[in-house]
Structure 1
């Protein structure tokens, strides 16, 4: 049988196009399990933008799947882990209102609080936990919220409020959160050494006195030598009938002298901040790794989170 070349070419082209269409159709076929696993794999690989896109694709193609709330939650987690705390807060805030009564709502409140705290919005973070305790019925969830509130107070140096929050945890969970050891360590806050910034500034009337008070011995010696040298140079300039030079040196000395006072007060603030941070770090040794339950296919998943 003979085929004309144009007809034969058209037949071959048609077969190629049909095969390509079939392959394309096969490539676009996705199922819910595969899509969710792929989205989660991108999150696990820290490919946060890809994870958000894939979880959103899962939500779009499988809107009736029982994992849709979890997929939305994971988009918030991706934003959070990427450091986009406002975007994460927006996702979690919606979930606290859309999934009332579900375990996922509790986790959304906790993540919303963390998202606000990492923006420096400690007051709002505390309010988020207060709102959670108002709607939660599980004692374990309420105790966990009290525990997180206590640590937010610790971060603010609000020792009494922190102790009250920890002490409110029910007896059933006190050993889990090591409350006895934590409160005992917290009681030592009165022994945190501090320096008075006003006193440091006053002592700096004698250059270097404030730095010496703040245990900054090298800075104290430097401040004393620089200021004493400039004062002596200005004095000698005036004594040798060089008022212009003496005035310039005196003006420069005034700047160094004022800086000496300001530096002493700043050193006192830094001393206090460093000692408080060291105290917080010692407290953190009593902080166990937080555990929580979250819904997962076929049951629940145990979540373990780390604070960096």
Structure 2
């Protein structure tokens, strides 16, 4: 029924246009259909989807240009737009796949932009070492000079993500110095005021994070071997240490009591339990030390990243172009 209604509507529309007087003009859309033999038609549609933040439909239209017009002279820029849509849509692995070949482009502007988005994609994908390396290269690129402050902040954040808090603090202080250099004078209105609270909080967090130190799992096991619960005392887990000491000590006492009373069942049972608890608390201290080291600085980085995200309104869009 729906197909019949559609066909009837189309036939009536055709009849109306056919019977229209010669002096009456039809609409521009009806008079001029889109020319799908030109890549610009697909590009305009893709750009419209991108403006509406419908990134994946935009990608579909950009890919049509690649497949339908393989000889198009600006094909590299189409790949760049696809990568940018993936980036904006949060699919950073796919974005890197599109940007990577463009980092060797003969077009210097395209090459710079590809490096820029590669660095941003690495950062958002938590590949902080690669991100820091690319941001360092971008800072040396003449095209990146206007964004030197932002790149320095990103490099600092990447180091913090890798838990290199000393390097991160050094770069953050350098970024603050560069920001202050942009201030015209104390008497005039400050430039980039949104950076001031960010630097104040982030440097405070990094100074705290710089003082953090790891705990040796082997020392934790050593102290656990000497005294049940000692490894947890070494790690600052006093409640777990007291429980471990109580369990092992209590079981050992009951095992000894069984031996003294010549109770085979009691002595074997509590000797087995005490041995298991002794080995278990030593292994637990080793695992706890490893976990402590792995999570060391995570809380500080989360707080730092929260401050950084609040700055992104002013920062990210400057480096996204």
TM-score for both structures, normalised by structure 1 = 0.66
1:54 alignment counterpart: 61
1:75 correspondence with 2:100: no
1:234 correspondence with 2:222: no
Change (3 A) 1:234 1:83: farther
1:277 correspondence with 2:284: no
Match of 1:112 among 110, 118, 124: 118
**How far off is 1:38 after superposition?**
5.3
1:87 alignment counterpart: 94
**How far off is 1:199 after superposition?**
4.8
2:17 alignment counterpart: none
Change (3 A) 1:33 1:137: closer
Query: 3-state SS of the aligned residue for 2:61?
Result: helix
**How far off is 1:95 after superposition?**
2.2
Match of 2:165 among 140, 159, 176: 159
1:257 correspondence with 2:278: yes
Runs of at least 5 residues in structure 2 that lack an aligned partner in the other structure: 1-10, 15-32, 184-190
Match of 1:40 among 50, 62, 70: 50
- Residue-pair matches, total: 271
**How far off is 1:162 after superposition?**
1.7
Query: Which stretch of structure 1 is more off in the superposition, 185-194 or 128-137?
Result: 185-194
Separation in 2, partners of 1:52, 1:129: 27
Matches of residues 95-134 of structure 1 in structure 2 within 5 Å? 95-98=102-105, 100-102=107-109, 104-117=110-123, 121-134=127-140
Which structure's residues are more often helix, by fraction?
Answer: 2
**How far off is 1:27 after superposition?**
9.2
| CA RMSD across the alignment | 4.2
Separation in 2, partners of 1:159, 1:218: 30
**How far off is 1:247 after superposition?**
5.2
**How far off is 1:53 after superposition?**
2.5
The runs of at least 4 aligned residues of structure 1 exceeding 6 Å deviation read none
Separation in 2, partners of 1:73, 1:163: 33
1:210 alignment counterpart: 231
Query: 3-state SS of the aligned residue for 1:157?
Result: coil
Native 8 Å contact 1:147 1:165 kept in 2: yes
Native 8 Å contact 1:106 1:136 kept in 2: no
Native 8 Å contact 1:136 1:142 kept in 2: no
Query: 3-state SS of the aligned residue for 2:143?
Result: coil
